[in-house]
Structure 1
Amino acid sequence: MRSVAAGLTLALATLAVGTSVSMGSGAEAQSASKTSFGGGEILWDSFGVPHVYGKTEAAAFYGFGYAQAHNHGNILLRMYGESRAKAAEYWGEEFAKQDEWLIGNDVPARGLAWYKQQTPQMRADLDAFAAGVNAYAKANMDKLDPEVRQVLPLTGVDIMTHAHKLMNFQYIASDRRVLVNPDTNEAGGSNAWAVAPSRTTSGNAMLLANPHLPWEPGPLTYMEAHINAPGMAIYGATQVGLPVMRFGFNNDLGFTNTVNTMLGYTSYALTLADGGYMFDGKKTAFRTAQKSYKVRQADGSLKTVAFTQRYAVQGPVFDLPGGKVTVAVKVAGLDRPGVLQQYLDMGKAHDWAGFEKALRQMQVPMFNIVYADRGGHILYLDNGILPKHAEGDVKMWSKPVAGDTSKTLWTDVHSYDEMPKVKDPVSGFVQNANDPPWLSTWPRVLDPKAFPAYVANVGPVSQRAQMSVKLLSEGPKFSFEEFVAKKHEMRSLMADRMIPELVQAAQGNSDPDIRTAIDLLKAWDHRDTADARGALLFETWASIFSPNNFTDQKNYAVKWTIDDPLQTPRGLKDPAAAVAMLKQAVAKTKQLYGAVDRPYGEVSRFRVGDTSVPGNGGFGNTGIFRTITWEPMKNGERKPRAGETWVAMIEFGTPLKAMGLMSYGSSSQPGSRHMGDQLPYLSQGKLRTLWIDRKDVEAHVEDRTAY
């Protein structure tokens, strides 16, 4: 057994040595190890955002690695340990099944192979990023959780393997999604807008990036940064652990992502026979490989767990819980190692031609991509590595299909040209709020019938997405300030539709609870603001009327239809029953919140660490664009589970305008002054200026790190 202490000794022995003199005068001026990566400097602004200036591209990656370790070292190292499929070895039995899933799918081995397939420049970049993490750790080991130090040192292979694990085996084919519930969403949600010059008063294109991922620190936590090197100046955000921007902009263009429903894997239900399986009428033997992993025991010793991994013609084989169904899993894109390269090339492009060249690489396995540029172009792309099938729809291919026939075995994927996309529509805008592609602009220009049924469901389209379309349809033109105001709209589309119906249905009802509720709802402006006194009651009624996270349409008089996509669902199927639900909601609201008219922000709190401020925004499925998914009540309040994480709003004028916010702050490290320091902005519905020009950065420097 190699002890934690021995692991640390090895880590320290292999980290870079030598330090430079800090050039900063801030309270926490930093210095990083001298390296062979070209040198550079990190300017830390007053919100803890690193502005990295590298003399070479690799030097910029080095600085970005250092910065990520500085702001999120604990979760960063834990994620890399998990992606190595050594989490059980480091932290115990609870990670054993996860490690076995990754090893069974050959993730660590493929991560190494992918690293070797990178260009020499990208390998140098990955090595530099890892070296930056290692250098921070060497200089600041006492600031890292002892549990995660054993993951050190990192190499470029670790960075590539983590990207592979995150993209292909968390977003696309997580063990929970493949083995337990195909409807599992590991990816969260997002909003995205791009507006053409024809719809803005300035005549400049504008972009909104607005992902809605979990607030709890982990693999989906965002890192904001500004990366500068020769030929590269990118501002934006990415998930901690990734060395490139997934949401970024430069002086000429910008792009963002939203989660789509891309079916990038297929499960095949096998028919077992004599230790093998049936395929095209013949008994076929499994190919097998002996694999193992280690599990740390309570006494610190390591137990080796060996297993035989079976492979069918489709891919690796797994038994579903209960043992009655055995599936083979085929994941698209395992032969496409360029996801990091594509994102980097997207950020380094400066016009539509360069950006589309990057898109055509088709290395990013899922996500809608929304784009705007200084030339006035805008784009919505339903992006992903999508298998080609001869038949079937989303419902069919999201569940295990017959694995005993070659008829279901796909061998090709769709090209860039075959994917749904809208470029420069007459409407002057594109949008996505995790809805299918069909309402990416309005009036609608994409016809579901023009694409295979497995590309995306026709609907229903969420009321959040409908509100998104409505906000952008208002006009005819708006300023950047109005663009920002639209993004902060807290009005519930569901309340707009249903409260007048409820009021009418309750006419003449003398029940005091009903009268109180109706008066409260009539006085409410349908916005989930901190001082709203009707918002909690309506939310509670809506959860009863439309269960399953406000998606069940059984109680609406008219269900959603693509022929009337912005006015449905609507109406009360049974008005009397809806009023009875209001009576239930009064009792439940009092039970949950202590009063039927409690101000929304008293119980809905933006809380990170010791910072707690009144909350606002609400559940997207009630038609609120400013999305906050609230956790259940605990200790007299509730806090966000997800929603409103990174926000960037850009106008491609001269000079460039850029506003943004990292809701939970720039750092997740214990004791950081930048954990939760941006919550007051979130509470007030404000954004901060994103400092891009060096002179503006210098004017707001908190610390400096030279390397």
Structure 2
Amino acid sequence: MPRRSRGRLALVGAALAAVTAGLLPGAAAADPGGRDREHRPSDRGLSAVIRYTEYGVPHILAADYANLGFGTGWAQAADQVCVLADGFATVRGERSRHFGASGAPDGSLSSATTNLASDLYFRGVAEAGTVEALLRTPAPAGPSRELKELMRGWAAGYNAWLRKNRVTDPACAGAGWVRPVTALDVARRGFAVSVLGGQGRAVDGITAARPPAAPATGATARATAGAEGAPDVDPEAAAEAARALFAPENATMGSNAVAFSGTTTANGRGLLLGNPHYPWQGGRRFWQSQQTIPGELNVSGASLLGTTVVNIGFNDKVAWSHTVATGVPLNLHQLTLVPGDPTAYLVDGKPERMTAREVTVADRDGAP
């Protein structure tokens, strides 16, 4: 999987191979009995046709991108509503409220080791307006009009499914955290997916950051428990931690993609194998579908749950996959603090004051 994506709110194929491909193995739930089922969900001016083929793979047909998003959101909710709802609780910064601050998220949307660290990070992203700024950025650095329409439609389809169906999965039936979403929620989830290999790797460090001389108290102490705290930072220890962060043997992401020309295959046609090394279950699994807008788009493949587009797949002309680069797309910078002022640092010899932002999250087991 790619480790970075600037300004993009949904993953796209980072490597293209011009081959004629067969459908890659998907992660859709096996449903041999679902063959040829057809559904026509509609709600508040949006609609789609969803035909389920062998093993429960949905083929989503729609008139435009908003309606395609509607059908995709509906079909994903029908298949994985509890997993999706859990992820939306994460990007809203509400895990501590529903599951307790000391509990652990499933790791699908960040490296946070506790719900409190996860919430502080995602509430910080929300209160900083990071995703809203990306949405205002013109394409191609920001999302296209089509992608915005897909996200709007996805949220509408997910919400329509919740209104018109009863959740029976015991994992979340009757749970207060299964709630309607907005297009901004969908965009925030896409942002989380896009930065998994960057700042998403450092969530505990980001949320544990504090002035070197400031002792941790109360909820802050809980958020920073086990973190490298010190009034006096050991430079050698910091250097060793940096080496460990960049060490290839400590990398947690990996995948493969292999393209074959027609001269090497039995039928003389090209072949692309995408092997993303992602889990079969949970919030970071792939979900197989076909998306069609007649005369505009016809693509088959797999999407990460909660995203609106096919991330690994093919159309009638090209197939694509993506894989992890060996380089680490982040840099460390050591700041020289202003003597006696641990929240200011020197830039070209002049003091630059850090910006303070207080983030508060609700806790199921106590005060915010």
CA distance in 2, matches of 1:98, 1:104: 10
Q: Does 1:98 align with 2:118?
A: yes
CA distance in 2, matches of 1:266, 1:109: 23
Q: Does 1:191 align with 2:256?
A: yes
Number of the residue aligned with 2:271: 206
Q: Which range is displaced more, 238-247 or 121-130?
A: 121-130
CA distance in 2, matches of 1:194, 1:99: 41
2:86 to 78, 89, 106: 78
1:234 to 279, 299, 316: 299
Instruction: Say if 1:261 and 1:143 are closer, same or farther in 2 by CA, change over 3 A.
Output: farther
1:38-53 aligned at under 5 Å gives the runs 39-53=47-61
1:111 to 131, 137, 154: 131
The answer to whether the Cα contact below 8 Å between 1:111 and 1:160 also exists between their aligned partners in 2 is yes
Instruction: Say if 1:85 and 1:221 are closer, same or farther in 2 by CA, change over 3 A.
Output: same
Q: Which runs of 5+ in 2 are unaligned?
A: 1-33, 103-114, 138-142, 206-240
CA distance in 2, matches of 1:244, 1:214: 19
Instruction: Say if 1:297 and 1:200 are closer, same or farther in 2 by CA, change over 3 A.
Output: closer
CA distance in 1, matches of 2:101, 2:174: 15
Structure 2 SS opposite 1:267: coil
1:675-690 aligned at under 5 Å gives the runs none
The answer to whether the Cα contact below 8 Å between 2:131 and 2:191 also exists between their aligned partners in 1 is yes
Question: What letter corresponds to residue 172 of structure 1 in structure 2?
Answer: G
Q: Does 1:219 align with 2:283?
A: yes
The answer to whether the Cα contact below 8 Å between 2:39 and 2:49 also exists between their aligned partners in 1 is no
The answer to whether the Cα contact below 8 Å between 1:77 and 1:148 also exists between their aligned partners in 2 is no
Number of the residue aligned with 1:141: 166
Instruction: Say if 1:220 and 1:26 are closer, same or farther in 2 by CA, change over 3 A.
Output: closer
1:267 to 332, 355, 359: 332
Number of the residue aligned with 2:156: 131
Structure 2 SS opposite 1:226: strand
Cα deviation code 1:327-355 (max 9, x no counterpart)? xxxxxxxxxxxxxxxxxxxxxxxxxxxxx
CA distance in 2, matches of 1:262, 1:86: 33
CA distance in 1, matches of 2:176, 2:288: 24
Instruction: Say if 1:60 and 1:281 are closer, same or farther in 2 by CA, change over 3 A.
Output: closer
Instruction: Say if 1:267 and 1:234 are closer, same or farther in 2 by CA, change over 3 A.
Output: same
Instruction: Say if 1:295 and 1:262 are closer, same or farther in 2 by CA, change over 3 A.
Output: farther
Instruction: Say if 1:67 and 1:185 are closer, same or farther in 2 by CA, change over 3 A.
Output: farther
CA distance in 2, matches of 1:176, 1:244: 27
CA distance in 2, matches of 1:129, 1:165: 17
The answer to whether the Cα contact below 8 Å between 1:114 and 1:160 also exists between their aligned partners in 2 is no
Cα deviation code 1:615-646 (max 9, x no counterpart)? xxxxxxxxxxxxxxxxxxxxxxxxxxxxxxxx
The answer to whether the Cα contact below 8 Å between 2:120 and 2:361 also exists between their aligned partners in 1 is no
Cα deviation code 1:428-482 (max 9, x no counterpart)? xxxxxxxxxxxxxxxxxxxxxxxxxxxxxxxxxxxxxxxxxxxxxxxxxxxxxxx
Number of the residue aligned with 1:248: 313
CA distance in 2, matches of 1:60, 1:284: 52
Q: Does 1:258 align with 2:323?
A: yes
Q: Does 1:36 align with 2:45?
A: yes
State the Cα distance separating 1:176 from its structure 2 match. 4.4
Instruction: Say if 1:116 and 1:92 are closer, same or farther in 2 by CA, change over 3 A.
Output: farther
Number of the residue aligned with 2:72: 64
Number of the residue aligned with 2:364: 297
The answer to whether the Cα contact below 8 Å between 1:74 and 1:148 also exists between their aligned partners in 2 is no
Structure 1 SS opposite 2:256: strand
The answer to whether the Cα contact below 8 Å between 2:36 and 2:51 also exists between their aligned partners in 1 is no
Q: Does 1:152 align with 2:172?
A: no
The answer to whether the Cα contact below 8 Å between 2:37 and 2:52 also exists between their aligned partners in 1 is no
State the Cα distance separating 1:165 from its structure 2 match. 1.2
CA distance in 1, matches of 2:203, 2:356: 24
State the Cα distance separating 1:267 from its structure 2 match. 2.6
Q: Please tell me the root mean square deviation across aligned C-alpha atoms, in Å.
A: 3.0
CA distance in 2, matches of 1:211, 1:161: 23
CA distance in 1, matches of 2:333, 2:199: 13
CA distance in 1, matches of 2:120, 2:81: 25
Structure 2 SS opposite 1:93: coil
Instruction: Say if 1:246 and 1:28 are closer, same or farther in 2 by CA, change over 3 A.
Output: closer
Structure 1 SS opposite 2:310: coil
Cα deviation code 1:103-143 (max 9, x no counterpart)? 44568721222234444433222110111111111122333
Number of the residue aligned with 1:598: none
Instruction: Say if 1:148 and 1:207 are closer, same or farther in 2 by CA, change over 3 A.
Output: farther
Question: What letter corresponds to residue 87 of structure 2 in structure 1?
Answer: M
The answer to whether the Cα contact below 8 Å between 2:41 and 2:48 also exists between their aligned partners in 1 is no
State the Cα distance separating 1:177 from its structure 2 match. 7.3
CA distance in 1, matches of 2:260, 2:343: 56
1:153-552 aligned at under 5 Å gives the runs 153-168=180-195, 170-176=196-202, 179=205, 182=245, 185-186=251-252, 188-215=253-280, 217-230=281-294, 231-273=296-338, 274-280=341-347, 282=349, 284-298=351-365, 303-304=367-368
Question: What letter corresponds to residue 253 of structure 1 in structure 2?
Answer: V
CA distance in 2, matches of 1:178, 1:260: 24
The answer to whether the Cα contact below 8 Å between 2:335 and 2:345 also exists between their aligned partners in 1 is yes
Structure 1 SS opposite 2:43: coil
Instruction: Say if 1:265 and 1:151 are closer, same or farther in 2 by CA, change over 3 A.
Output: farther
CA distance in 2, matches of 1:287, 1:147: 44
Identity %: 22
The answer to whether the Cα contact below 8 Å between 1:64 and 1:132 also exists between their aligned partners in 2 is yes
CA distance in 1, matches of 2:164, 2:86: 19
The answer to whether the Cα contact below 8 Å between 2:125 and 2:131 also exists between their aligned partners in 1 is no
CA distance in 2, matches of 1:213, 1:120: 29
State the TM-score, normalizing by the size of structure 2.
Answer: 0.66
Specify the structure having the higher radius of gyration (Cα): 1
The answer to whether the Cα contact below 8 Å between 1:276 and 1:283 also exists between their aligned partners in 2 is no
Q: Which runs of 5+ in 1 are unaligned?
A: 1-24, 305-707
Aligned length: 274
State the Cα distance separating 1:29 from its structure 2 match. 7.1
Instruction: Say if 1:28 and 1:246 are closer, same or farther in 2 by CA, change over 3 A.
Output: closer
